[in-house]
Structure 1
């Protein structure tokens, strides 16, 4: 019988170098041995060898210290950073509004009811009849919040750190009767950690960004709300990296809603990681090296964002004016311009439509003739056709009757999508021809972009529109007012 080959030298060295990081750690100020405190190691992996790792002969870049980032974030006080406080309030309102809208759908509501039977607890989500335990509440919150594809995002991270952080923080904060300020602080903490890891890591082709590095955002938010120190938080983050999910894009392409469980799993597990680290369970600092090499595109890894301790990423994050993947929004904005210039026009009389956009939009949102809501949320052509017909793109766009509408399907068939070399970042150009008359519209930025953040009034209007059908006008008003105008010392409630 053939004896298996030994581990490559790189793996032997990795195990030897990290072995003492999982020994019983001292509590209190002593913490980890000096050479490990407060350092987390994140090494970019370049050339791949046959075992899927890095070339052992390649030069390793410097190891990155995350401890200073945690220290900086731990010293932030919302009252001293009014812009950050305001953005965190808006983000939390928007995320809860999206979650409440999602809980109005059959599947999230059924899941909440089923989990309440096996994991009852103190967290009563708006629109539900029974309370949940914190982990289950975080799971349902995140799943429901992305159900209509209308929650936030961060362009530089190519994902949504706020979704993962807010779900963990809101669930724990509700269970522990935390103050609004404590919950908002945890949201910011999780957002800044998750956003930086999101920028540092790039998913491989065929993967979906939700649930991967988002587990770090959830773990960071939970650690902050549970008052974990820097050493403990590092273990929680490394624990998340040890089992960072490799989420597939496949469910989106196939029209399955399993994608919505990705962020839900990450938010719930973030609480597990934080509680485990507080209990004394340890994780190896090298987990970030291994996760970066195995789960992500090592050629695009950039560790520099983890060194940033000056700018708040949350201030760059966007809130969505439309219920769809962000790539779809630029075409929708073009459609609004067409409707403005052609009041009362019948989109059915359009002969030909061309949408020019950027490659990433086509890669992720090339689904045509969607059969299910999630396929439609990732469809440039569906979103554009719906906006041309109705002038908006709300969760109603994904009701069965909308998906099956014959006029919608006919208009979508007329749309041709092309990649424009002149659109390098974000944007779209719409060409519409009716008979001999042609019109073109260019959109380079939309509401929510860094230079055009959604106003408080716009966020409130969206929140009311999303919440009211599920929980009514008065309850919606109470939630919005408590988060946007409540004292930081007031108890957090949903």
Structure 2
């Protein structure tokens, strides 16, 4: 019955896939090519930032214990061990999303890079795929999962997109890398859509660490669904609609699947995170920073009596004043505001374990009250925050941030990405920045075939860990 009810959706989805599988790297716009390299850089930096987190390190040690090394794919970790493809993809995904530094897609709730990359990079390493093949698959995988996110939308954030969309994103990246024909790609994506997990969104603001495993599980789903599709086991073109609209009740706007809509590649509409927390809290952090810049006396957190924050609807739900885990802190607007006041920014240290028990941060968290932002504006001013600080002497200071930095309307300079990568990756992978600078340069060049693009991704990975000279 579902296939009959979703006939239009099935036809639209099949037409999109039939178009997408024919696209080549040369069809991708210069801006999207460069942006793909920066997404790769940004998300691997996010991965490196989490390698020393206790839970991530423990999961890595448990997975490596008793298993022989010398597998087909690289684990991005100390020593760069090569292990089996499934475990490499899963563990890399766990680390990549852990610190909330991975980029996201601004026009829908979707962290496309996190969903696509871990499975894609592991399979590329295994197959000896070239850099060009990896970047093409990244752009097309990103395009596919973000279009799905825009077609089927929900009135409220009940299921987290990491659980709902990541399996399909992982299958898309791997499927484009494997150059599956349209029929097999539809089977793989349809199958992956049915592997969506019922991960409650509120597990993030409640700090339930199971939420950080959903992208890791999705990487496994993407790898297996593409393998099975080649064997004749898979879903159908209506499967995404059957799951998202039929079973879960999403609204549907099929125009987002129109293959003719390529004026802007989805990867061009991604956002980078200047702060290590949920993007919904970024405008609050930047309003706090602006207040401190305008009024130096406010840099002393002890001078603040209380804080009133009017925030957009997505941020209003992040109201925990006593987060129990680092994940909970990253999804708490009171914590984000308090930590930014005490530390001056929204860096990793503002949301680490020590920040949870910092007495100055704890006091300010309890002093924060949240209220709905009274004015609704369209994208990109749809996630504002107005922060009002009431000092102990009764003076009131107010600042509005309409749109946090890092999105398409306020892009961060590339040097921000490189500087953060140098700071975070150096202890683990001293060759990371020069290698990724070479990747970005190769992605940006046009004209005759480029040897750097034809070089295997595995070679770049090896140089990330063993060489400080630019690759290619």
What CA RMSD, in Å, does the superposition of the two structures yield over aligned residues? Answer: 2.2
Of 202-211 and 406-415, the range deviating more from structure 2: 202-211
Question: Which residue in the other structure is 2:257 paired with?
Answer: 306
**Does structure 2 conserve the Cα–Cα contact (< 8 Å) formed by 1:246 and 1:295?**
no
**Does structure 1 conserve the Cα–Cα contact (< 8 Å) formed by 2:225 and 2:234?**
no
- Evaluate the alpha carbon distance shift between residue 426 and residue 390 of structure 1 in structure 2; reply closer, same or farther with a 3 A threshold: same
SS in 1 for 2:163: coil
Q: CA deviation at 1:62?
A: 6.3
Q: CA deviation at 1:319?
A: 1.2
**Does structure 2 conserve the Cα–Cα contact (< 8 Å) formed by 1:42 and 1:303?**
no
**Does structure 2 conserve the Cα–Cα contact (< 8 Å) formed by 1:135 and 1:271?**
yes
2:336 corresponds to which of 383, 406, 409: 383
**Does structure 2 conserve the Cα–Cα contact (< 8 Å) formed by 1:79 and 1:85?**
no
Please say if 1:90 is aligned against 2:38: yes
1:82 and 1:380 map into 2 onto residues whose CA distance is 37
**Does structure 1 conserve the Cα–Cα contact (< 8 Å) formed by 2:186 and 2:236?**
no
Please say if 1:394 is aligned against 2:350: no
Q: CA deviation at 1:202?
A: 2.9
**Does structure 2 conserve the Cα–Cα contact (< 8 Å) formed by 1:357 and 1:423?**
no
Q: CA deviation at 1:91?
A: 0.2
> Which consecutive residues of structure 1, in runs of 5 or more, have no partner in the other structure?
1-9, 18-40, 44-60
Map Cα deviations across residues 342-392 of structure 1 (whole Å, 9 max, x no partner): 3363121112211111112112x2222212100001000101111111121
- Evaluate the alpha carbon distance shift between residue 152 and residue 377 of structure 1 in structure 2; reply closer, same or farther with a 3 A threshold: same
2:187 and 2:10 map into 1 onto residues whose CA distance is 17
Please say if 1:481 is aligned against 2:428: no
Question: Which residue in the other structure is 1:104 paired with?
Answer: 52
> Which consecutive residues of structure 2, in runs of 5 or more, have no partner in the other structure?
443-451, 462-472
2:456 and 2:352 map into 1 onto residues whose CA distance is 36
Q: CA deviation at 1:295?
A: 4.7
2:152 and 2:10 map into 1 onto residues whose CA distance is 15
Of 251-260 and 152-161, the range deviating more from structure 2: 251-260
Please say if 1:403 is aligned against 2:356: yes
Question: Which residue in the other structure is 1:451 paired with?
Answer: 409
Question: Which residue in the other structure is 1:372 paired with?
Answer: 325
Please say if 1:292 is aligned against 2:292: no
1:153 corresponds to which of 99, 104, 108: 104
2:72 corresponds to which of 118, 122, 126: 122
1:464 and 1:355 map into 2 onto residues whose CA distance is 34
Q: CA deviation at 1:205?
A: 4.9
**Does structure 2 conserve the Cα–Cα contact (< 8 Å) formed by 1:211 and 1:264?**
no
**Does structure 1 conserve the Cα–Cα contact (< 8 Å) formed by 2:308 and 2:387?**
yes
Please say if 1:235 is aligned against 2:182: no
Q: CA deviation at 1:146?
A: 0.9
- Evaluate the alpha carbon distance shift between residue 102 and residue 63 of structure 1 in structure 2; reply closer, same or farther with a 3 A threshold: same
SS in 2 for 1:340: helix
Map Cα deviations across residues 269-324 of structure 1 (whole Å, 9 max, x no partner): 111111111222232333233202455333x3323212254231111111111111
Please say if 1:73 is aligned against 2:20: yes
Please say if 1:317 is aligned against 2:264: no
- Evaluate the alpha carbon distance shift between residue 466 and residue 79 of structure 1 in structure 2; reply closer, same or farther with a 3 A threshold: farther
SS in 1 for 2:191: helix
SS in 2 for 1:103: coil
Question: Which residue in the other structure is 2:309 paired with?
Answer: 355
Q: CA deviation at 1:42?
A: 4.4
- Matched residue pairs, number? 437
Question: Which residue in the other structure is 1:175 paired with?
Answer: 126
**Does structure 1 conserve the Cα–Cα contact (< 8 Å) formed by 2:338 and 2:365?**
yes
1:124-143 equivalences under 5 Å are 124-129=74-79, 130-143=81-94
SS in 2 for 1:369: coil
Please say if 1:460 is aligned against 2:418: yes
2:265 and 2:121 map into 1 onto residues whose CA distance is 21
- Evaluate the alpha carbon distance shift between residue 368 and residue 64 of structure 1 in structure 2; reply closer, same or farther with a 3 A threshold: farther
**Does structure 2 conserve the Cα–Cα contact (< 8 Å) formed by 1:112 and 1:140?**
yes
- Evaluate the alpha carbon distance shift between residue 455 and residue 72 of structure 1 in structure 2; reply closer, same or farther with a 3 A threshold: farther
SS in 1 for 2:277: coil
2:278 and 2:405 map into 1 onto residues whose CA distance is 14
**Does structure 2 conserve the Cα–Cα contact (< 8 Å) formed by 1:109 and 1:128?**
no
- Evaluate the alpha carbon distance shift between residue 72 and residue 415 of structure 1 in structure 2; reply closer, same or farther with a 3 A threshold: same
1:21-32 equivalences under 5 Å are none
SS in 1 for 2:389: strand
Question: Which residue in the other structure is 1:189 paired with?
Answer: 140
SS in 2 for 1:266: helix
Question: Which residue in the other structure is 2:229 paired with?
Answer: 277
- Evaluate the alpha carbon distance shift between residue 221 and residue 63 of structure 1 in structure 2; reply closer, same or farther with a 3 A threshold: closer
**Could you state the TM-score of these two structures normalised by the residue count of structure 1?**
0.83
- Evaluate the alpha carbon distance shift between residue 395 and residue 479 of structure 1 in structure 2; reply closer, same or farther with a 3 A threshold: farther
- Evaluate the alpha carbon distance shift between residue 91 and residue 402 of structure 1 in structure 2; reply closer, same or farther with a 3 A threshold: same
**Could you state the TM-score of these two structures normalised by the residue count of structure 2?**
0.87
1:353 and 1:314 map into 2 onto residues whose CA distance is 36
